[in-house]
Chains A and B, each alone.
Chain A
Amino acid sequence: SQTIHQWPATLVQPVGSPLSLECTVEGTSNPNLYWYRQAAGRGLQLLFYSVGIGQISSEVPQNLSASRPQDRQFILSSKKLLLSDSGFYLCAWKGQGELSNQPQHFGDGTRLSIL
């Protein structure tokens, strides 16, 4: 069966420090991958998605970047964190080529606090 892992589960970082959040999927090949941010009291905002290795689409301009160095690995990064980067970050996957009626599957998230 397929599983998705995110780490770390929680992270406290000072303003201006770098960031690297990792997401990996097991049990499937060539998935679509997604990064979302959930700020306090707000819904889910899609940040990036990827349909293949090295293929990254950005949904909103921001202080973050994403990379997909391997088929089932998706990394969210920042060179210098801002206070506004605080939030709950969720990674999700969906089978490549699956019909649109198939859902995305989510990891357990990373709680990022910027001090």
Chain B
Amino acid sequence: AQSVTQLGSHVSVSEGALVLLRCNYSSSVPPYLFWYVQYPNQGLQLLLKYTSAATLVKGINGFEAEFKKSETSFHLTKPSAHMSDAAEYFCAVTLSGNTGKLIFGQGTTLQVKP
């Protein structure tokens, strides 16, 4: 069965520092993976998705993620944090089948300090 684990419920970085949000997945089939961002009192916005075309995926707002099959990981990074990056980030994997259901990680809250 597919599952997603996000290591670290809270991550704090200084403005301008590297952002690294960790996501590990478990899947018996080749996974399709997503990162979403949620700003306070808003819905989820897609940051990027892994579709097996390339292991390094670039998304919006300067974020990127690298799919590493050997490590079953899909960590999200950004070279230089901006205050506007403060939000909650969710990693998700698609369940196999035609329901389109997603399994979400528990989320990581990113705090950016000035």
Contact = CB atoms under 8 A, between A and B. Distances in A.
Nearest to B96: A100
A34 B100 CA distance: 9
A46 B101 contact: yes
Nearest to A93: B100
B106 A43 contact: yes
Given A42-B106, A43-B90, A43-B106, A101 B49 contact: yes
Interface of A, secondary structure class, is: strand
A43 B105 contact: yes
A90 B43 contact: yes
B17 interface: no
Contacts of A44: 44, 90, 104, 107
A106 B43 contact: yes
Most buried by B among A6, A44, A46, A88: A44
Interface string B51-63: 1100000000000
Interface residues of A, number: 27
Nearest to B109: A41
Interface in A46-105: 46, 49, 51, 57, 88, 90, 92, 94, 97-98, 100-105
Interface in A1-22: 6
A103 B46 contact: yes
A57 B106 CA distance: 23
B44 A90 contact: yes
B42 interface: yes
B100 A32 contact: yes
A107 B43 contact: yes
A103 B94 CA distance: 9
B41 interface: yes
A106 B94 contact: no
